[in-house]
Amino acid sequence: MSSSFITLKTIADHQDLIINLQSSELALQGTFKIPGDKSISHRALILGAISQGETIIKGLLLGQDPHNTAVCLRRMGVEIPPLNSDCITFKGVGLKNLQEPLNVLDAGNSGTTIRLMLGLLASHQGHFFCITGDNSLRTRPMSRVVKPLQEMGAKIWGRKNHSLAPLAIQGHNLTPIHYYSSIASAQVKSCILLAGLMTEGKTTITEPTLSRDHSERMLQAFGATLDIDPSTHSVTITGGTPLTGQKVVVPGDISSAAFWLVAGAIVPESELVIKNVGVNPTRTGILEVLAMMEANITFENQRVVTGEPVADLRVKSSRLKACTISEEIIPRLIDEIPILTVAAVFAQGITVIKDAAELRVKESDRLAAIASQLNRMGARITEFPDGLEIVGGTPLTGGELDSYADHRIAMSLVIAALMAKGPTIIHRSEAIAVSYPEFITTLQQLIT
Ligand code: S3P
């Protein structure tokens, strides 16, 4: 089948993606790589920037989010070369040595950039910083990081009682705290660890369940002193230890692989091998859920690359079964819920997703976005304050859809459209470039 049935139309600043495939004749086949992990890419740039000596990063994600992190760091005097997924090398400026930026820092669409940057900046005594973001980021809650930073003595101002960007920060010497977070969030944890790294004494963050641990792994590799207590989900950092530049090899992003894992499972006669996927246990909730749904996925060539577990994943078409997704697994698949909702639409039975209210404060309200757009295609999804109920097995019909300017919603809708009858138009599909600029090209290569 010709892949020319996927077209992009640019209208002013936006792109419509038009998908017009004969779903009954479609299959996906191929062996391919996915782009670098977004979370690890941000952290490699940030830790490299505040280290002494040279950092080498291989496999960096070239999406808009890490690009925004790099631009912020360059504005504060770190000489990061143009981003490149093969290899970049740069020298860090050391702890607490970022320069005061001459202009407002812009995190764009990236929650990780703004929240980690706040932890990094708050301790830069004598410097003044302003940081903002796009329309979506300026509505997302910042009090979850502003509050603990204020407890450490940080001076931060913003709209709605300092809870919304744009935020202004007057750098200041901080005092260590033990912070008990009410949400399992790697952005909150990493923000506090970065602030603690630059604060004399021991700073501890305890979270209700474990969120992704890339910061802990990378901080230890760069020489920080960390004490991790898995039984209480607590991490303690001893501030003041200088970091030393390292070589980081960024694995493929399991959150990007997720679209192909679901596509390979639901599109008949498909078989995909996704090479070099990061399979850190704090991120593999998607694999556990797809196994519960009886997807045919196998691990090959398992290895550890610069401190992160990696594997090749083979997926074959499967008859999916409904399941329940709730509690501690949610933080380990937080970004995969939109694409798992698509999987549930094609599964036999009723899938229930609970304890996922965090999705309402992501790049969009992801529960509302995915439910409303898939329902427009004929799905039977009921929305609850903290989740969704999906009645599987209802055929989809193409239609006119909106991505809500959210990369993961746009890509989830593309996968749903592959199995829909008739053409689908997805408005504002340019959002895909936030985490996976080559997504559509890869799709075109996989269509047989
Ligand atoms: C991220 C953590 C998660 C995730 C986001 C990336 C990170 O957010 O949704 O895409 O890199 O730390 P929360 O920490 O808000 O759950």
Look at residue 54 and tell me whether its pLDDT is greater than 60.
yes
Q: Which residue, of 225, 249, 273, is where some domain finishes?
A: 249
Look at residue 65 and tell me whether its pLDDT is greater than 80.
yes
Give me the domain span that covers residue 111. 38-249
Is residue 335 part of the annotated active site? The answer reads yes
Please tell me the total number of residues recorded for the chain in this structure. Answer: 448
| Domains contained in the chain, number | 2
* 229 shares a domain with 278: no
* 196 shares a domain with 285: no
Task: Return the residue matching tokens 């300092």.
Answer: 162
* 296 shares a domain with 165: no
- Residue 4: pLDDT band (50, 70, 90) is low
* 310 shares a domain with 184: no
Q: What pLDDT digit, counting tens, does each position of 197-236 carry?
A: 999 999 999 999 999 999 999 999 999 999 999 999 999 9
Query: Radius of gyration (Cα) for the chain, nearest Å?
Result: 21
* Residue of 109, 187, 365 best suited for mutating to test ligand 1, as the one with most atoms within 8 Å of CB: 187
Question: Ligand 1 atom 11: the closest Cα is on which residue?
Answer: 39
Q: Which residue, of 249, 283, 316, is where some domain finishes?
A: 249
Ligand 1 mean position, distance from CA 113 (Å):
10
Collapsing DSSP to helix, strand or coil, 237 comes out as strand
* 214 shares a domain with 257: no
Q: What pLDDT digit, counting tens, does each position of 94-141 carry?
A: 999 999 999 999 999 999 999 999 999 999 999 999 999 999 999 999
* 152 shares a domain with 12: no
* 243 shares a domain with 342: no
* 293 shares a domain with 204: no
* 231 shares a domain with 110: yes
Ligand 1 mean position, distance from CA 187 (Å):
5
Residues with CB under 6 Å of ligand 1 are: 39, 42, 111-112, 185-187, 190, 211-212, 334-335, 358
**Spatial CA neighbour of 222 closest among 413, 78, 314, 92:** 92
* 338 shares a domain with 425: yes
Q: What pLDDT digit, counting tens, does each position of 135-180 carry?
A: 999 999 999 999 999 999 999 999 999 999 999 999 999 999 999 9
Question: Ligand 1 atom 9: the closest Cα is on which residue?
Answer: 335
**Spatial CA neighbour of 419 closest among 369, 344, 368:** 344
Average pLDDT rounded to a whole number, residues 7-36: 92
Q: What pLDDT digit, counting tens, does each position of 290-339 carry?
A: 999 999 999 999 999 999 999 999 999 999 999 999 999 999 999 999 99
DSSP 134-175: -TTGGGS--HHHHHHHHHTT-EEEEHHHHTEEEEEEE-----
- H or E segment and range at residue 88: strand 88-91
**CA-angle at 396, arms to 379 and 373, nearest 5°:** 55
Q: Which pTM does this prediction carry?
A: 0.98
Q: Which residue, of 230, 249, 268, is where some domain finishes?
A: 249
User: CATH number for the domain including 57?
Assistant: 3.65.10.10
Catalytic residue among 312, 335, 365, 406: 335
* 158 shares a domain with 23: no
* 383 shares a domain with 245: no
- Please, what is the average pLDDT of the chain? 97
